[in-house]
């Protein structure tokens, strides 16, 4: 028999919606029956598992055994601590894994670089795209949305397990890449059609902020400006593609050439 969730635990879980609290505690929230199960099955320990008793009953030891502590919750409890409109049956408090990104991996394969991407849904979707196309690392400028934001984790649909997201001083990283002869592909309006651009099997795909695109500072380090051709005459309301759509199309085109 497991204990019921205490008020203190509920409060702690809710506080993890704040970036500051996440950073101080190195903890973050994973929701969703399937994602939590896969996270545990992959051998990741969690600090706390808050689940409906029915859910726990159906899970093997390989899942429940990975939790340092297990508490039971009612649906109403879950609703209170969840950041979802319709919560699932379980919520996990997981421990961040900080991995240093030295830039050595930039020479092998593709890396996505994001400048000031703000929308949690966009970052989550881009992580999912990266996982799909076998891209192992995303480097983010330090002002990008936090990967451990519950909405980002949610939007990745579990793909956060397969992609390293690193917050780095992006300009110096791009400068280093350039000095090492690693191509930097920047997605900008007015670049060369991606369909006609030469694409290499390694390099950095740089995508900019949702409304501002890539800053002039970072554009200087772009060695190849690429564009996804759109309508011949500009149409009102569709001046550009959403950043995560652009990421999908660009990654697909790189994958096609391999």
Which residues of this chain interact with a copy of itself, rule CB under 8 A?
A: 34-35, 38, 41-42, 121, 125, 128-129, 131-134, 156-159, 161-162, 195, 228-232, 235-238, 241-242, 244-245, 248-249, 252-253, 255-256
Minimum distance, C-beta of residue 257 to a copy of itself, in the bound complex (Å) = 9
Nearer to a copy of itself by C-beta: 71 or 228? 228
What DSSP string describes 199-250?
--SSEEEEE-BTTTBS-HHHHTT-SEEEE----SS--TT-SS--HHHHHHHH
Minimum distance, C-beta of residue 105 to a copy of itself, in the bound complex (Å) = 18
Nearer to a copy of itself by C-beta: 65 or 234? 234
Residues 231, 233, 235, 238, CA torsion sign: positive
* 8 Å CB contact between 178 and 170: no
DSSP 83: S
Nearer to a copy of itself by C-beta: 100 or 236? 236
Minimum distance, C-beta of residue 134 to a copy of itself, in the bound complex (Å) = 6
Minimum distance, C-beta of residue 64 to a copy of itself, in the bound complex (Å) = 17
Query: Which candidate, 173, 14, 18, 165, places its Cα nearest to that of 82?
Result: 14
Minimum distance, C-beta of residue 228 to a copy of itself, in the bound complex (Å) = 7
* 8 Å CB contact between 25 and 16: yes
Nearer to a copy of itself by C-beta: 55 or 254? 254
Q: How far is CA 154 from the centre of its chain?
A: 9
* Six-digit token string for 238: 């569709």
Minimum distance, C-beta of residue 3 to a copy of itself, in the bound complex (Å) = 29
Nearer to a copy of itself by C-beta: 103 or 208? 208
The residues pairing with 48 across neighbouring beta strands, listed in sequence order, are: 93
* Six-digit token string for 237: 């309301």
Nearer to a copy of itself by C-beta: 190 or 231? 231
Minimum distance, C-beta of residue 4 to a copy of itself, in the bound complex (Å) = 29
Nearer to a copy of itself by C-beta: 224 or 245? 245
Strands (E), the chain: 3-4, 27-31, 46-51, 70-72, 90-95, 110-114, 137-140, 164-167, 184-193, 203-207, 224-227
Beta pairing class for 203-207 and 184-193: parallel
Query: Which candidate, 129, 125, 113, places its Cα nearest to that of 167?
Result: 113
């Amino acid at each position: 028999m497991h204990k019921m969730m205490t008020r203190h635990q509920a409060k702690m879980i809710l506080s993890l919606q704040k970036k500051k609290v996440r950073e101080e505690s190195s903890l973050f929230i994973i929701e969703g029956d399937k994602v939590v199960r896969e996270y545990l099955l992959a051998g990741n320990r969690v600090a706390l598992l808050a689940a409906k008793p029915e859910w726990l009953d159906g899970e093997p030891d390989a899942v429940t055994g990975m939790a340092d502590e297990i508490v039971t919750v009612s649906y109403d409890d879950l609703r209170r601590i969840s950041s979802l409109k319709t919560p699932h049956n379980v919520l996990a408090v997981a421990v961040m894994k900080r991995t240093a990104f030295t830039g050595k991996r930039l020479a092998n394969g593709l890396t996505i670089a994001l400048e000031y991407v703000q929308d949690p849904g966009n970052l989550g979707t881009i992580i999912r795209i990266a996982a799909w196309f076998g891209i192992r690392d995303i480097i983010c400028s330090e002002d990008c949305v936090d990967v451990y934001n519950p909405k980002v984790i949610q939007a990745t649909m579990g793909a956060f397990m397969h992609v390293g997201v690193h917050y780095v001083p992006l300009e110096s990283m791009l400068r280093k890449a350039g000095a090492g002869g690693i191509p930097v592909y920047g997605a900008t309006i007015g670049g060369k059609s991606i369909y006609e651009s030469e694409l290499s099997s390694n390099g950095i795909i740089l995508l900019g902020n949702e409304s501002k695109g890539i800053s002039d500072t970072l554009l200087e380090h772009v060695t190849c400006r690429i564009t996804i051709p759109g309508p011949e005459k500009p149409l009102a309301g569709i001046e550009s593609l959403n950043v995560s759509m652009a990421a999908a199309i660009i990654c697909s085109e790189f994958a096609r050439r391999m």
